[in-house]
Structures are given as structure tokens and as C-alpha cells.
Amino acid sequence: MQTSSVIKLIAVTFFMASLSGCAWFGKKPTESRKEVTGTPGVTEQQPVQEPVQTGGAGEANLSSGSSLEDSIKKAQNVFYFDFDKSIVKTEDYKDLEVHAGYLTSDPSKKVHIVGHADERGTREYNLALGERRAKAVTEVLQAQGVKQEQATVTSYGEEAPAALGHNEEAWSLNRRAEVLY
Amino acid sequence: MRWQISFFVSVTCHILLLVALFWVGFPHVFSPIRPLFERNIDIIEAVAIDERELQTELKKIKSQKQGERSAEKAAGEAQKKRVKEEKRLEELRIERLKEAKKLEELKKQKQKEEENREQRERERIEEEKKRAEAEKAAKVAKESAERASAEKTRLAQEKVGYYVDVIKQKIQSHWIPSGQNLSCLLRIRLLPGGSVVGVAVIEGSGSLAFDDSAVRAVHKASPLPVPQEPELWNQFRDFTVRFKPQ
Amino acid sequence: MKALDSKGGGQIGRVFYVAPAFFAFLFCVHLGCVQAEITIEITQGSDSAVPIAILPFGQEAPIAPFSSVIQQDLQRSGRFQAVQSHKFPEKAVRSSELTLSAWQNLGVESIVVGRIQPLSSSQYQVIFELVDVYKGQQKMLPSQNGTPDNPSLFIQNNSVLLAQEFIIHASESRKLAHQISDIIYERLTGERGIALTRIAYVSVVVESKQGSEYRLEVADLDGFNPRVIMRSKKPLMSPDWSKDGSKIAYVSFENGRSEIFIQNVSTGRREKIAPYMGLNTAPAWSPDGNKLALSLSKDGNSEIYVLHLETKRLERLTNDGAIDTEPAWAPDGKALIFTSDRGGEGKPQIYQFSFETRATKRLTFEGDYNARGRFTSDGRHIIMVNRQNGQFHIAVQEVETGTVFWLTDGVFDESPTVAPNGRLVLYATKEGGKGLLQAVSVDGRVRLRLPAREGEIREPAWSPFPIGLRGKGLSL
């Protein structure tokens, strides 16, 4: 049973790698987000999942082209998590500081943080896990002065994957929290 | 039936008669035969003693007579006296003989009683011995019979157990139970050879489906393996089966 | 008796074979209590499926292939093995036309015969009979005084177990065929059948231009009559049937976050019942139908609540910093089980909350991931998702002993839902990366795959027992 499952897993892994994995292979997260738009995500999420293009453009309309706007364009807005974990990685603090700075500069600014999980595990538990990840990101922002009412948190669990594969490559991209304006 | 009664009556009467005869006639019928011989010996002995006495007495008298005859022939009174004496002696002799006879009789009586007693004792011992022997024989016979029947029972039970097992296996292989934690009791009738001719639910489980599945299993398992030996087969012509999945 | 035997067997011979047997039998009856009787204990049976023959219904062509629908239903239950029609020794549409011995030789235990009579252009009379192939044999029956220990005579017993008549509209023919399957199933197994039940599920159809479409569908268990009751461009989740089968509660992301709706299955009318801040998810109807257990994160993190549907009063059951979700009711309604990772993040286990004691205790200990528990209808087992070596299987845990068995060996098996008769578990699995539904019996012996659909199928929810069509029992 075990060996057959392992073989299945390997087969699935290779199959998926051949289908989609190559698309991700060697690409940076910012690039990979492009692909997300093609996934069965939610239409409303599409613009914010491409922060480099649409997201950045949207923000440009919000405030007059300050350096904050530029920095927010460059900062990553998707933060990845380890399997079954909801701890914000220390290397993400730098980017989150940029977001916090942007939000504290104008308390009227709102941010929407959406948590996600990979497909492994039950859907309801993953929904809660996604929320916990989003909250972890929010807490980092709040620790840097962002007001509670500025941030709203939600979770899609495993329902809106960024990558469609059934391998670690895809899963690592799906365990995420997105900071959306 | 009637001849039986008369037969028994006559047999009983005969037995009673025999017993009565035996009881009443014992001293009269049987005693003269055997003790006769023994009495003769006694009589001879007794007479011999008396005669010797008599002889000496007679000798005495004769010598006296001879002496007197030569001395005094004319003594008539003496003669008379002598005759008288002789007469008296004769009487005495008869008396003594009678007494001896009486004594003899008494003695014989005693002897006979002793004889009877001994005879009875011998018979008793003999009887006792016979009875003990019979008892012993019976006991031995009984024990061996018991051993034999126990062995037979054991073998029979083993065989019955074997057939119970194979019947159980055959029914189980045909039973697709409809339900769990249920139990029903069926009575099964077989023909010689094991064909099922009757199945009755004598204790239902409360579930028709379960009871039916049990009945079907028995029919599907027909014919059931059964022993050929009549006394064993008898136990299988009508038996019960409990269906209780565990 | 012995004398009779030896004579019967030996001297008199076979000529008077029956008579001595009969007398011996009477003797047996009279001496029944005297004789040391053998009682054989049958403690186990065979696992195999019951061989059954479903004969074509007379004139079934105009409305529906009754016999094949019934055959598939019974076969799908795993309890029956339908004999293929080319092996049938005879044709019959009524029990009186059957030669039972021919069917016994085929190894068949039961036969279904039936006939259909058109009454008008759309009305039909359907009659079916269920025949026990063996019951028609000679049988000892209890005597008239009813003392069961004294079987007194042999009689020829009727072999028809069931005979029913239905008057239906042509459109109800498939429904009636399923219902007949259930009637047969129940008569032969002692349990209610599920052929007439329906399932709800979420299907995801990728439409390249507009993205994906999420559909909440209900269909017959055999996949026929699928009907979309809700369409959305955003995810739909966690359908659960009300106990009367009239409504479905589900989670919809149509407003950008998870909210719970209750929708009437036939009218489509729906109501948002959990619009709270944060997550509103995992609805579960109580057995009495008056309450809905759910998971809300309005107070900070996911906690279990009970919503009283009449009063809309919300009752909080858990209070801790961990994730508490996926509530499910015990069949008696006195307890809830739910998933919580209070033992460690990423290591959820199933806990039980008792309404009597208000106490919570952990139920699962096998492995580091047990979630989404569902009680079987008898309350004796919990069906759940268990992770083993990174793979997700459907497992069953015996409540009393805590013993766990794996029912499936897939990699992504999830969302188990238990049939209302407690026999089968329907679950979602992935094959070739595509989601589909499969079923496994709670004892693990039967596996079956439900017909494939367009798109990806996930999150099945089994309906309760539906109400069938009205029929009329015919005298046997």
C-alpha cells in the first residue's frame, strides 16, 4: 500500500512537474504571480494578485507619487509560510515594514489581508489556518503602528490556490498571505 | 392374557405347595434316611455292654445254683427264693434294658439335633459363598460392561461432534447474514442422507430478513453431512441450529 | 423408535420409507423434550454478496428500464450480486410463472419480477414481487396453538416475500425504481436502503475566459438528475442537508469572504444566516433540525457556536486560542465533535463537547492529524480524515474502543459523508489531479466509484432518507 502510494505520489509529482512545474521552475515569486491570474481564482482577486502591474497602478492613483508609493511597488505583497505553520518569516519583516510605513502614513488607508493554505488537509481546517496566517501578517503590521481598523482579514483556505500543482513546488506557493489594498 | 394368569396361579400354587412340604415334612420325610445308619452303631455298642453284665450275672447265678443243688436239694424255699430272685433279676434286666434304650433314644435325639445344626451351618456357608461369588462375577461383568459402554459413548460423542462440526461449516459457508447482534433458533428436519425436509424458526430474531437469511442458508446447505449409523443418525434427524454472528 | 427405524431402514425397505419417517417424526415431536437434542451454533457467515436476479419488468420500455436501475442500485450497495440476464433460465413477470428449482440451480437466492401497465398517456401501474427462491420449499411451521417448540405439520409455504403496486406518473419512474430497490434491500438485509437518497456536492468547472464556475449541485446517488442549485464565480463550500432533506446550508465566498447560507433545495429561496465578522463556516444541522452548529472567528479565532434557528440566538461552545472547526452532531444530539489544533499547530485532533457536562475531551490519538469527524448513524463510529506519512486517508474510529481502521489508501482523500443508513461513506479523492467522488463501506469491504462528471467534483454531502412514493401492498 505504502509503496504504491509512494509510486503514485512520484508519478503525480512528475506528471504535474511536466505540466505546470516547468512554468514555475526557477522563477521568482513576483513572476509566478502572473500565472495566478490564469488559475481558477476569484476575479476580484486577480488585480491584487498582480501587484507589480495592476496593484501598483491602483496605488499610484491613491496618493501623489511619493517615495512611499515607489517603495510599496517594489515591496512584495505575498508572504509565504512553512507547511502547517503560521509564523511570518523574518526575511519578510523588511517588506512588511514598507507596508506598515505606507499605512501609518495615512490612517485612512485600508488594507485587506487574505490568507491561504495548500491543498493538503481538510478544507475547513485550512480555511482557519489561512486566517491564522493572515492574522500573523496583520499582527506584524500592527506591531509597527498600523491601526486595527485599517486592516481586514479573511481567508480562502485552499479554495483559491495560486498554483495548481500537487507537489511541494505548488504547495509552497499556495501557503501564503496576501496584502491587498 | 388369561392363560398367563392361570399359569402364574399354578406356578405360585406349586411353589407354595413345595415350600409347605419342605417345611412340614423336613424332620419326617428326610430324617429317617440318613440317621438310620448311625443309630445302628450305637445300638450294638449298648447291647454289648449290657450282655457282658448279664453274662457275669448269669455266671454268678449258675455257680451259686450248682453249689446249692449239690448241698441242699430239698430246700424248696431256697428254690423258690432263687426263682424269685431270678425273676427279680430278669425284671431288673428288662428294666435296665429299657433304661438303656431310653438313654440311647435321648442320645440319638441330641445327635440328630447336632447333625441338623451342622447341616444348616454348612448350607449357610455354602450359600454365602455362592452368593459372594455371584456378586463378584456380577460386579466384574458390570464393570466391564460399563467400560465398554463408556468407550462406546465416547466414540459416539466424538462422531457426533465431528458431524456437528461439518454441518456447522457447511451452513456457515452458505449463510450471508442479514444483520448483526441478532440471534435466531431454527429446528431442522432431515431425511436419511441429510436432505433438509423442514426448517422452522422456533425463536425469531425480530428481524424477518435475518431469520430468512438463516433459513435460506440451511436450504442452500442441503444435503447436510450426516452419520450412517442408525443410533447416531437418530440424533441428527431432528435438531436445532442457533444463528448468532459474533 | 429404534425398532421403527431399523424396520424402516432394513426389512420393510424403501416401500414404506415415508411412513416410518413420518411416524418417527411424530414420535420425535412427542418425545421432543425427552430426547437429548443437538444444537449447532452458527457464529459466522460468508462475506459474499447475495445472488439476486432482477427479471425485466413486463412492458418497461415505455418509461424506464426498471430492472437495470434496480440491478445497479442493489449492486452498488455491495450487498448484492445481480445475476446477468443471459443466464436467466426463464422469463417471468409474475411470481406464479417461476420455476424455483431452475433458479436454485443457478445459485440465486431471491428473484424480482414486475410488470408495468399504462393507465393513461402519462399514468402507469407498476407491480413488483420479491420471491425467495428457497422459502417455497416444504417447511415445518409452528402449530396452531402457537407453541413454537412443537412444529406440527409440513405445509407448502408461499415464497413471495413482497408484492406491491404503485400508480405513478411517467416522470417518477426512476424514482420508483430506486424506491423498489430500497424496499427489496430492506426486506432482505433488515436495513434501510439508500438508493433513493441524493447527494449534494460542489463542482468546479474551469471556463477559460471567465475563470472558474463553482456550482452547488444535487443529484440522485447514481448520478442521474443533476441539478445546479447555486452558481458562483467564487468558491462554494461545505454543503450540509437539513434533516428533512428540504434545505442545504453551505458556505459561499460570493461577498469576498466566507458566509453561511441556507437554501431551499426545491424553491431555491435562500437566506444568509451567518454574516459575522471573520470566518463563517462549517455549518452542521442538528438532528432535531432546529439548530446549526458552525465555526465563527468573530471573536478573534475560530470557535464552535450553535445557532438556534428559531430565535437566531448564538451559543458559544469553545473558548481557546486554537482553531476549533468542523463541528458534527452526535446522532442523539447530546454531543458535538469538532476539529481543534489546541494540541499543536498543524496537528489537529477531534474533540467531543458534551451538552450535558459542557466538558470537552479529546477523542483521537492515532497519528498527528485527525480532522472532520462525522458520526455514523448508530453513533458507534466516527469517520474522519487521518494523515499518515503525509497522505490523507479516510479512517474510521470505533468510539467505544478508540480503535482506528483506514478505509481508503488515497493521497488526498477528504470530505467524508456518511450514508443515512450508516453503511457507506462517500468521500472526495483526486485522480490524475482531478477531484471525484468515491464510496467505501464503513466495514471497508465495498468500494465503488460514482459516475464521473464534467469538471472537478468535491465536498459531497449525503441527504437524509427521502420520502418515497405511495404504494399499496398486495396480499401474498
At C166-186, the pLDDT tens digits run 999 988 999 999 999 999 999
Band of residue C151 on the pLDDT scale cut at 50, 70, 90:
very low
Residue C391 pairs in a beta bridge with C388
Q: C465 vs A74, B169, C74, C171, C420, CA distance in Å?
A: 58, 38, 17, 20, 6
* pLDDT score of B153: 83
**A125/C371 Cβ within 8 A:** yes
- By residue count, chain C amounts to 476
Please indicate, yes or no, whether residues B28 and B123 belong to a single structural domain of this protein. yes
Q: What angle separates helix A93-105 from helix A67-74, to the nearest 10 degrees?
A: 150
User: What does the block give as the cell for B230?
Assistant: 442408525
B182: CB partners within 8 A, 6+ apart: B205, B206, B207, B210, B244, B245, C190
Which of C6, C37, C38 is the best mutation test for B, with the most CBs of B within 10 A? C38
Q: Is A49 in a helix, a strand, or coil? A: coil
How close C214 gets to chain B, by Cα (Å)?
41
Q: Which domains does chain A have, with CATH numbers?
A: 27-180 (3.30.1330.60)
Give the pLDDT confidence of B144-159 residue by residue, as tens digits: 999 998 988 888 888 8
Distance CA C77, CA C74 (A): 5
Residue C467: name the closest of C163, C167, C161, C192 by CA.
C192
Average pLDDT over residues C239-248: 96
Residues B213 and B140 in one domain: no
Predicted local confidence at residue C26, as pLDDT: 45
Interface size B-C, in CB pairs within 8 Å, comes to: 140
Asked if residue B227 is part of any domain, the answer here is yes
Does residue B2 lie in a domain region? no
Instruction: Judge whether B168 lies within some domain.
Output: no
Question: Quick one: average pLDDT of C420-436?
Answer: 90
Neighbours, chain B (3 or more CB pairs < 8 A): C
Q: Grid coordinates representing B72?
A: 441242699
Burial of C96 by CB count in 10 Å (0-12 exposed, 13-18 middle, 19+ buried)? exposed
Say if C40 is an interface residue toward chain B (CB within 8 Å).
Answer: yes
Q: Give the percent of chain B with pLDDT over 70.
A: 82
- Is A131 in the C-facing interface, judged by CB distances under 8 Å? yes
Which of these, C394, C363, C362, C368, lies nearest to C380 by C-alpha position? Answer: C363
What does C371-425 look like in DSSP terms, one character per residue?
EEEEE-TTSSEEEEEEEETTEEEEEEEETTT--EEE----SB-EEEEE-TTSSEE
Q: What is the separation, in whole angstroms, between the first and last Cα of chain B?
A: 62
Quick: pLDDT tens for C440-458. Answer: 999 888 888 877 677 889 9
The reply to whether B187 and B129 lie within a common domain is: no
Give the CA-trace dihedral at B100, B104, B105, B106, to 10 degrees. 100
Q: Is the confidence at residue A58, as pLDDT, over 60?
A: no
Pick from A2, A8, A125: which is nearest to C323 by CB? A125
Contact A40 C206 (CB under 8 A): yes
Say whether C42 and B168 touch across the interface (CB within 8 A): yes
Q: Is A110 on the interface with C (CB under 8 A)?
A: no
- Mean predicted confidence (pLDDT) in C140-152: 41
Please report whether residue B100 resides in a domain.
Answer: yes
pLDDT for C207 equals: 74
b/e map C436-471, b = 16+ CB within 10 Å: bbbbbbbeeebeeebeebebbbbbbbbbbbbeebeb
CB contact under 8 A, C42 and B198: no
Neighbours of chain C (3+ CB pairs under 8 A): A, B
Q: CA-CA distance, A130 to C298, in Å (whole number)?
A: 15
CA-to-CA separations, B121 to B26, B37, C5, in angstroms, rounded: 16, 22, 55
Answer whether C193's CB lies under 8 Å from C186's CB: yes
Select the more confidently predicted residue: C185 or C207.
C185
Kindly state whether residues B29 and B114 are assigned to the same domain: yes
Cβ of C323 within 8 Å of Cβ of A41? The answer is no
Give the mean pLDDT of B13-36: 60
Rounded Cα distance between A137 and A79, Å, is: 8
Q: Which residues of C touch A4 (CB under 8 A)?
A: 409
Angle at B74 between CA B69 and CA B79, to 5 degrees: 65
Q: Which residue has better confidence, C254 or A33? A: C254
Higher confidence at residue C224 or residue B50? C224
Do B13 and B105 reside in the same domain of the chain? yes
Instruction: Give pLDDT, residue C38.
Output: 86
pLDDT higher than threshold 50 for residue A60:
no
pLDDT for A147-168, tens place per residue? 999 999 999 999 999 998 889 9
Label residue C293 by pLDDT band (50, 70, 90): very high
> What is the identity of the amino acid at B171?
I
Location of C-alpha cell 445481480: C82
- CB proximity list for B110: less than 8 A, separation 6 or greater: none
A125 and C326 Cβ atoms separated by less than 8 Å: yes
Q: How far is CA C273 from CA A129, A156, C285, in A?
A: 23, 19, 13
Phi, psi of B99 (to 5 degrees): -60, -45
Evaluate whether A48 touches A78 at the Cβ level (below 8 Å): no
Radius of gyration of chain C (CA): 28
Range name among A84-93, B178-187, C36-45 with the lowest pLDDT average: C36-45
Pick the residue from chain C with its C-alpha nearest to B188: C140
Contact: C302, A2; criterion CB under 8 Å:
no
For C24, the closest of B168, B174, B237 (CB atoms) is B237
CATH 1.10.1050.10 applies to domain C50-194: no
Do B35 and B141 share a domain, yes or no? yes
How high does pLDDT run on average in chain C? 86
Q: How confident is the model at residue B243 (pLDDT cuts 50, 70, 90)?
A: very high
CB contacts < 8 A, A to C, total 126
How confident is the model over C61-93, as pLDDT tens digits?
667 789 999 999 999 888 899 999 999 999 999
Nearest residue of chain C to residue B215 (CA atoms): C135
Instruction: Please list every residue in chain C whose beta carbon sits closer than 8 Å to the beta carbon of residue B201.
Output: 148
Look at C109 and B220 and tell me if their CB atoms are within 8 Å.
yes
Average pLDDT value for residue range B73-78? 72
**What pLDDT score does B62 carry?**
77
Question: Which CATH number covers residue B234?
Answer: 3.30.1150.10
Average pLDDT score over residue span C87-109: 90
Q: Tens of pLDDT along A31-44?
A: 333 333 333 333 33
Per-residue confidence (pLDDT) for residue A54, from 0 to 100: 33
Asked if C42 lies within 8 A of B171 by C-beta distance, the reply is yes
- Give the residue ranges of DSSP H helices in B175-225: 208-221
Report CB contact under 8 Å: C39, B207. Answer: no
What is the b/e burial string over C221-258, where b = at least 16 CB atoms within 10 angstroms of the residue's CB? bbeeebeebbebbbbbbbbbbbbebebbbbbbbbeebb
Q: Say yes or no: domain C198-462 is CATH 2.120.10.30.
A: yes
| A125: closest chain C residue by CA | C325
Residues of chain B neighbouring C137 (CB-CB closer than 8 A): 196, 199, 219
Of A8-22, B205-219, C313-327, where does mean pLDDT reach its minimum?
A8-22
For residue C239, give the nearest of C292, C196, C288 by alpha carbon: C292
- Per DSSP, C7 falls in state I
CB contact under 8 A, C138 and B173: no
**Which pLDDT score, from 0 to 100, does residue C253 have?**
96
Chain C CB within 8 Å of residue A93 CB: no
- Determine contact, residues C264/C313, Cβ cutoff 8 Å: no
- A122 and C339 within 8 Å at the Cβ level: the answer is yes
pLDDT value, residue B104? 92
Q: Do C42 and B216 touch (CB under 8 A)?
A: no
Q: What is the dihedral of CA C310, C316, C317, C323, to 10 degrees?
A: 120
Q: Which residue is it, cell 445459485?
A: C107
Q: How far apart are CA B185 and CA B85, in angstroms?
A: 120
Which domain, by its residues, includes B122?
9-145
- Pairing type for strands C404-406 and C391-398 reads antiparallel
Q: Give the whole-number percent of chain C exceeding pLDDT 70.
A: 86
All three cell numbers of C9: 431402514
Query: A57 and chain C: CB distance < 8 Å anywhere?
Result: no
pLDDT value of position C370: 96
| C with B: touching (≥3 Cβ pairs within 8 Å) | yes
Q: Exposure string (b/e) for B140-167, b if CB count within 10 Å is 16 or more? A: eeeeeeeeeeeeeeeebeeeeeebbeeb
DSSP state of C433: T
In angstroms, the CA C391 to CA C368 distance is: 12
Q: What integer is the mean pLDDT of C136-160?
A: 47
C43 close to B (CB below 8 A):
yes
Kindly list the residues from chain A whose CB atom is less than 8 angstroms away from the CB atom of residue C278.
131, 153-154
Contact C433 A5 (CB under 8 A): no
Query: In the prediction, which pLDDT does A64 show?
Result: 46
**Alpha-carbon span C273 to C261, nearest angstrom:** 6
Beta strands, E only, A64-143: 78-80, 111-116
In this predicted structure, the answer to whether residue C303 has a pLDDT above a threshold of 70 is yes
Confidence bin at B22 (pLDDT 50/70/90): low
Evaluated on CA atoms C433, A166, A75, A100, the torsion sign reads positive
Q: Say yes or no: A127 contacts chain C, CB-CB below 8 A.
A: yes
Chains B, A in contact, 3 or more Cβ pairs below 8 Å: no
* Banded pLDDT at B3 (limits 50, 70, 90): low
Least confident stretch, C22-26, C190-194, C314-318: C22-26
Q: Does any CB of chain B come closer than 8 Å to the CB of residue C228? A: no
Q: Is the pLDDT of residue A177 over 90?
A: yes
For residue C375, pLDDT beyond 50? yes
Domain ranges of chain C: 2-30, 50-194, 198-462
The answer to whether C459 contacts A9, with C-beta atoms less than 8 Å apart, is: no
Instruction: Kindly give the pairing relationship between strand C434-441 and strand C424-431.
Output: antiparallel
Residues B19, B137 within the same domain: yes
Instruction: Name the residue facing C38 among B209, B219, B239 (closest C-beta).
Output: B239
Question: Considering its fold, how many domains does chain B have in total?
Answer: 2
Whether A56 shows a pLDDT value over 80: the answer reads: no
CA distance B11 to chain C (A): 33
Is there a single domain that holds both residue B179 and residue B108?
Answer: no
> Which residue in C11, C41, C42 has the most chain B C-beta atoms within 10 A of its own C-beta, making it the best mutation to test that interface?
C42
CA B208 remoteness from chain centre: 65
User: What DSSP letter does each residue of C249-276 carry, written as one string?
Assistant: EEEE-TTSS-EEEEEETTT--EEEEE--
pLDDT digits (tens, 9 = 90+) for C114-128: 999 999 888 999 999
Q: A12 CB near a chain C CB, below 8 Å?
A: yes
pLDDT at position B152 is 85
Tally of CB atoms within 10 A around B63:
10
